[in-house]
Amino acid sequence: MEQKTKVKPVKAALAPGNLAAVRIRGRTMVRTTIVDAMNMLRLYKNNFCVVVPNTPTYLGMLKQAKDYITWGEIDDETFKLLVEKRGEEFHGRETDSKELIKYNDYFVVGGKKLKRYFRLNSPRKGFGRIGIKQSFQRGGALGYRGAKINDLIKKMV
C-alpha cells in the first residue's frame, strides 16, 4: 500500500512592484513582536505610510501586523502624488562617525533625499464601511486591500 503525501500548492511568483502600507490603529495593548515589525516597517504612528518592495521578508512583516495596518499594491501615479505632497527631506546622518554603519533611512527621488515614511492626514469621509477593527474582506479597514490602497492614499493626501 502506497502512502500518499500531501503536496502543498506552491504560490505563484510575487508580482513585481511595490507595496504601500498604512498604519490604522494605535499602539495600546499591542504585542511586542507586532510592535517590532511595525518599527522595522517605519510605521511609528497612526496614518503613517511606507512604500516597501514586494519581497517575502516585507510580506511576512505586513502579515504579522495585519490587525493594525492595511496594505496593497501602489501604482506609479499614487507614488508620485505621495512624493510631491508628503515627501519630507532627510536631514539626518548617513553613517556613524567611524563609517562602520551605513544608515538606509532615506531614498533618492529626483536628486532629493527623502524620508522612507510619509505622514498622512486622516482620510476624508473616514475609513467608511464597518470601521477600523474588522478586516477589509469583511467590510472593515484592516489587512490586504490590493489596488484599492491607491484610493485610500488619495483620500489621505
Quick one: pLDDT at residue 116? 85
pLDDT > 80? residue 126: yes
Residue 101 domain-assigned (yes or no): yes
Residue 140 domain-assigned (yes or no): yes
How large is the average pLDDT for residues 41-51?
93
More confident residue, 54 or 6: 54
| Cell numbers placing 136 | 477589509
How large is the average pLDDT for residues 64-88?
91
Number of domains in the chain: 1
How large is the average pLDDT for residues 108-117?
84
Residue 3 domain-assigned (yes or no): no
Residue 82 domain-assigned (yes or no): yes
Distance CA 137, CA 148 (A): 12
Residue 107: how many other CB atoms lie within 10 Å: 14
pLDDT > 60? residue 106: yes
SS3 49: strand
How large is the average pLDDT for residues 22-32?
91
Give me the chain's average pLDDT, please.
Answer: 83
Residue 8 domain-assigned (yes or no): no
More confident residue, 31 or 114: 31
Residue 42 domain-assigned (yes or no): yes
| Cell numbers placing 67 | 490587525
Quick one: pLDDT at residue 8? 42
Residue 25 domain-assigned (yes or no): yes
Domain range for 143: 18-156
Residue 10 domain-assigned (yes or no): no
| pLDDT over 90, % of the chain | 44
First to last CA, the chain: 63
User: What is the CATH number for 76?
Assistant: 3.30.1390.20
Query: Secondary structure of the chain: what % helix, strand, coil (to 5)?
Result: 25, 20, 50
pTM more than 0.75: yes
